[in-house]
Chain A
Amino acid sequence: MAPHKAPRCFQDVILTLQNYWAEQGCAILQPYDEQVGAGTLHPATTLRSLGPKPWRAAYVQPSRRPKDGRYGENPNRLQHYYQFQVILKPNPPNLQELYLNSLARIGIDPLLHDIRFVEDDWENPTVGAWGLGWEVWCDGMEVSQYTYFQQVGGLDVRPVSGELTYGLERLAMYVFGVDRVYDLPFNDPDSEYPVTYGDIFLENEKQQSRYNFELSDPEMVLRWFGDAEATAARLLKESNVLPAFDYTLKASHLFNLLDARGVVSPTERQSFIARVRDLAKGCASAWAEGQS
């Protein structure tokens, strides 16, 4: 294999990972056009991990977690960030090796750094999914989540999918030795017009944090949640699974917005999560039926 050029900026990390996983036979998808809290929620993972058909895909997914907004003041926390997601069904027996090679490709030498697989059982209650795996640590920093899916939407996953989620900002900050996410070089720092992560996203963090915590209209969001929920349920009855899933994702995000506003009591919280989970389970089983 020809030596690969080490990445120098944020987008290099993305491009390198895309190329690497394309070499492993993955379909390189684009982000899903719904607001989601994690790359797992892309139908390419949530739905495609179900059923017997083999499937390999990789994609970047912008992820929104309204509650994590810090008005751009925290060097590590963002309410909008990128995940790089890989899904391989069935998981190949050498998936760990493939994963470690991807780290090497972005410049992490395992004989210079301390790479560790630390137990972390992954669970996403809003979509009734869980799996076993690890957080992958590089010198004490969590750089990826590595999971063998066991259930999605409350259904057993057979064959089992291997899911890899790279936290791109963290990984890049680590590789480039940057302590503040906004200082990350986004494109080549030697290019004619270099831009940083902050040039692109700092203002967004400030404004979105203000919306999430201060300006959103909880009553309206609650209504939207109800509408999205009702629509998803209605579409499910019509076996219109993929649109139903879109509305499930909307409901999930709207719940996160309500949660960020601090208007959801702990008891209500459980009931909201259960409502979204029921929809997600409905979508998952309807999808799985169509697959087998």
Chain B
Amino acid sequence: MPQLLLEFFSEEIPARMQKRAEEDLAKALGEKLKAAGLDAKAIKTFSSPRRIGAVIDDLPSKAADVNEERKGPRVGSPEQALQGFLKGAGLTSIDQAQIVEDKKGAFYVARIERAGRETSAIVQEIVPEIVRAFPWPKSMRSGSSDLTWVRPLHNICCVFDGKAVKIAVEGVGSEAVTWGHRFHAPEAMPVTSASDHASKLRGAKVLIEREERKTIILEQARKLCAARGLELVDDIGLLEEVAGLVEWPVVLLGDMDPAFLDLPGEVIRLSMRTHQKYFAVRDPKTGKLAPHFVTVANVEAKDGGKAIAAGNARVLSARLNDARFFWDTDRKTALDTPERREKLKKIVFHQKLGSVWDKVERVKTLAVELCAVTGADVEQVKRAAELCKMDLVTETVGEFPELQGQVGRQLYALEKGANASIAAAIEDHYRPLGPNDRVPDDKVAVTLALADKLDTLVGFWAIDEKPTGSSDPYALRRAALGVVRLILESGLRLPLFRNPVLLIRTVQTQTLAARRRGDEAIRNIINLMLKMDASEREIGAALLDLSGPAPEGESQRRDETWDEIFASNDSSVLLLRALLGFLADRLKVQLRDQGKRHDLVDAVFALGDDDLVRIVARVEALDTFLKTEDGANLLAGYKRAANILAAEEKKGKWSAEEAKGQVDAKLLAEPAEKALHEALEKALPAARAAVEREEFAAAMKALAGLRAPVDGFFDKVLVNAPEAEIRRNRLLLLSRFREALSAVADFSKIEG
């Protein structure tokens, strides 16, 4: 079958956009062809800095003929309806329509036969549409033209079945030609087919396949390194980018002044990568950076690349000289200096949330409180908190913001008696930076990372700067996911809801955000919680005490206190509830991404638990349980019981109030209902006790014992007994059953 070749030849397309553009082109082309009745089985695409294009090897030479029947109005319909039908079907007279009889009477039917259009005509129509609507991330106009494209578009080469097809779009050239390498082969070359196009370009020093360019760069780079006893530092992102910057990759190994090797490795690597797009090179024996770099040129230079390598080396030296100046300035002093503290006080974290130093102070107190949960050393956490933002005012971070944390760690590590945990915390307290970033493993780092993120979240919630839709300028979703991952992956038993530390912090931050509320807000909390007058410190202490181990008989009173607090409309409480909802959403997303059924997640969340570790344990136990036969049957039994109860409630014959009553054992007549009653008497306390011990699998197992009695009950017993007392008693049995299952999850949220 005939072949279609399409090439958009333009000025240099940004490297980061090329791959996506290939996908967008394939998609648009496929859709448009399909809509025109042409089926493209496989669309191959290509791109290089100056071109993007597509090849379809087996495109029919014309679209399929259209053969369609269109049903019209009833015979004898008003003139207006007939005219509308004729127009729509492209007929001139009603005589051209046929009359067809069916059960309902006689109708007009138009038989439309249209020969398929020539593919080249279709292409001429759809390519301009594709060009005009192409989804470049940013596009521009050039000269006096109205056309928008990523950069000026110079030619659209379109060849179908060996013949040139002219594309007319806002005056852009459309010749069946292409151009080779900008400097090696600047002349236009006629093109007759896709293979002709690719091979002529290869001869003209352009490789149109991005993957081929990547392979060549990698192979040449590794070979060059190996020849010098060196090793390339792989960098997939950089490889992708560099492959989009060259049409004819020529890899060169350059030399760097070894004196620069006393700079931190990351500084060198970043200078190379972000500013120069060089690959770093290391010594395989020591694993350390070697005084060389790999650069990818776009030209086979007359001197074999000597001038290019030397030029690049000079540019790198200038860059590293800058970096060295910064690094040397920074390391003249210890990390913590009065000057740096002063500077941090002047940097605004957020107008309403104070300076970065204010944040440091808040993070410190919060982190200290969290030590009880994380088990980190309090003194180390305090010190790490004071130091963690210090590097933001170093010269090196000013130049390389990506190195925040790392520079602090390095500077701290130079100090005498530096502690490994503190060092790790300084670097890692920003982590995890996303779903794929690692979670710190050192306790001090975990504590600080958690405190930093919780402070950010509480702060931005307090000033009402929550993420909306796609707008999340302060990366709060990332912070929330970070909190979730830190808690789960470190197995922290941190109640998020009944959490005095967070509540105190919320009050404080709100107070900071709106000072006028100050004392009043605090007093509200005092009155609410302890119903007595006390200073903030005392409240804090009292609140913290609430979360400690409960003395005998105290736990219920505590639960009630918390219930009262969280049922209140105090603005701090409302705010914290909203924030916890946001964290819960992140956890749901996380669990769904791990393939957990969303309905199970909802079923567990509906219980209102605020301990993420426990929530996940429940979801996992529930998932396992429902996969067993007992679990599936029990769920079916639950649905049946719940339906009956709901139906009775709807009829007004049953209410939640009545459901609280006790089953009267004397009224149980049928053996099946007696059996269910006995089973419930056993299972309910067993399940509750297991839940109390957080042995969710055991709780599920206790419930599994209900399966046979429940099935028996539904088989043998008529709930709607004529005697009101017996009916009531049976409804109570079902209510107990529903209640038993609710001890582990809200089964009403589970599908199936």
Interface residues of A (CB under 8 A from B): 74-76, 90-93, 96, 100, 109-119, 121, 131-134, 138-141, 148, 150, 158-160, 174, 177, 179, 265-267
**Contact yes or no, A148 B140, CB < 8 A:** yes
Question: Do A158 and B183 form a contact, CB below 8 Å, given A114-B297, A114-B301, A140-B312?
Answer: no
A112 contacts which of B277, B302, B351 (Cβ < 8 Å)? B302
Question: Do A267 and B351 form a contact, CB below 8 Å, given A119-B14, A179-B318?
Answer: yes
The complex places the Cα of A174 from the Cα of B307 at a distance, in Å, of: 11
The complex places the Cα of A177 from the Cα of B295 at a distance, in Å, of: 20
Question: Do A74 and B143 form a contact, CB below 8 Å, given A114-B308, A119-B16, A139-B308?
Answer: no
Type the 1/0 row for B282-323, where 1 means its CB is closer than 8 Å to any CB of A. 000000000000010111011100011011101111100110
Chain B's closest residue to A54 (CB) is: B144
Q: List 30 A-B contacts (CB under 8 A).
A: A74-B325, A75-B321, A76-B318, A90-B144, A91-B152, A93-B152, A100-B182, A109-B302, A110-B183, A112-B303, A114-B299, A114-B312, A115-B298, A116-B298, A117-B49, A118-B15, A118-B277, A119-B14, A132-B138, A132-B151, A133-B151, A140-B276, A141-B315, A148-B140, A148-B142, A148-B151, A148-B152, A158-B141, A160-B141, A266-B347
- In the bound complex, residues from chain B placing their C-beta under 8 Å from that of A96 are 11
- In the bound complex, residues from chain B placing their C-beta under 8 Å from that of A119 are 12, 14-16
A90 contacts which of B143, B297, B307 (Cβ < 8 Å)? B143
**Contact yes or no, A91 B143, CB < 8 A:** yes
Question: In whole Å, how far is A54's beta carbon from the nearest beta carbon of chain B?
Answer: 10
Type the 1/0 row for B393-417, where 1 means its CB is closer than 8 Å to any CB of A. 0000000000000000000000000
**Contact yes or no, A117 B308, CB < 8 A:** no
Type the 1/0 row for B418-439, where 1 means its CB is closer than 8 Å to any CB of A. 0000000000000000000000
- In the bound complex, residues from chain B placing their C-beta under 8 Å from that of A113 are 299, 301, 307-308, 311
Question: Do A138 and B311 form a contact, CB below 8 Å, given A76-B322, A112-B301, A114-B297?
Answer: yes
User: Does B348 sit at the interface, judged by CB under 8 A?
Assistant: yes
**Contact yes or no, B11 A112, CB < 8 A:** no
**Contact yes or no, B318 A132, CB < 8 A:** no
- In the bound complex, residues from chain B placing their C-beta under 8 Å from that of A158 are 141, 144
- B-side interface residues, number (CB < 8 Å): 49
- In the bound complex, residues from chain A placing their C-beta under 8 Å from that of B144 are 90, 158-160
A140 contacts which of B152, B154, B316 (Cβ < 8 Å)? B316
The complex places the Cα of A110 from the Cα of B49 at a distance, in Å, of: 17
Chain A's closest residue to B252 (CB) is: A114
**Contact yes or no, B325 A114, CB < 8 A:** no
User: Does B346 sit at the interface, judged by CB under 8 A?
Assistant: yes
The complex places the Cα of A107 from the Cα of B297 at a distance, in Å, of: 19
**Contact yes or no, A118 B245, CB < 8 A:** yes
Question: In whole Å, how far is B100's beta carbon from the nearest beta carbon of chain A?
Answer: 58
User: Does B184 sit at the interface, judged by CB under 8 A?
Assistant: yes
- In the bound complex, residues from chain A placing their C-beta under 8 Å from that of B49 are 117
Chain B's closest residue to A109 (CB) is: B302
**Contact yes or no, A140 B346, CB < 8 A:** no
Best-buried of A92, A116, A267 by chain B (most CB within 10 Å): A116
**Contact yes or no, B348 A74, CB < 8 A:** no
**Contact yes or no, A267 B140, CB < 8 A:** no
Chain A's closest residue to B49 (CB) is: A117
**Contact yes or no, A74 B322, CB < 8 A:** yes
Pairs of residues from A and B, 3 with the lowest C-beta to C-beta distance, nearest first:
A139-B311, A119-B14, A117-B12
- In the bound complex, residues from chain A placing their C-beta under 8 Å from that of B15 are 118-119
The complex places the Cα of A137 from the Cα of B302 at a distance, in Å, of: 18
The complex places the Cα of A119 from the Cα of B295 at a distance, in Å, of: 18
The complex places the Cα of A74 from the Cα of B326 at a distance, in Å, of: 12
**Contact yes or no, A140 B295, CB < 8 A:** yes
A116 contacts which of B245, B314, B322 (Cβ < 8 Å)? B245
The complex places the Cα of A132 from the Cα of B245 at a distance, in Å, of: 17
Within 8 A of A (CB), among B658-698: none
**Contact yes or no, A179 B314, CB < 8 A:** yes
Type the 1/0 row for B1-24, where 1 means its CB is closer than 8 Å to any CB of A. 000000000011011100000000
The complex places the Cα of A174 from the Cα of B318 at a distance, in Å, of: 12
The complex places the Cα of A148 from the Cα of B150 at a distance, in Å, of: 11
- In the bound complex, residues from chain A placing their C-beta under 8 Å from that of B138 are 121, 132
Question: In whole Å, how far is A161's beta carbon from the nearest beta carbon of chain B?
Answer: 9
The complex places the Cα of A42 from the Cα of B480 at a distance, in Å, of: 48
Type the 1/0 row for B74-90, where 1 means its CB is closer than 8 Å to any CB of A. 00000000000000000
Question: In whole Å, how far is B311's beta carbon from the nearest beta carbon of chain A?
Answer: 3
Question: In whole Å, how far is B386's beta carbon from the nearest beta carbon of chain A?
Answer: 23
Question: Do A150 and B140 form a contact, CB below 8 Å, given A111-B299, A119-B14?
Answer: yes
**Contact yes or no, B315 A92, CB < 8 A:** no
Question: In whole Å, how far is A207's beta carbon from the nearest beta carbon of chain B?
Answer: 21
Question: In whole Å, how far is A106's beta carbon from the nearest beta carbon of chain B?
Answer: 15
The complex places the Cα of A253 from the Cα of B317 at a distance, in Å, of: 32
- In the bound complex, residues from chain A placing their C-beta under 8 Å from that of B14 are 119
Chain B's closest residue to A262 (CB) is: B346
Chain B's closest residue to A134 (CB) is: B12
Type the 1/0 row for B100-140, where 1 means its CB is closer than 8 Å to any CB of A. 00000000000000000000000000000000000000111
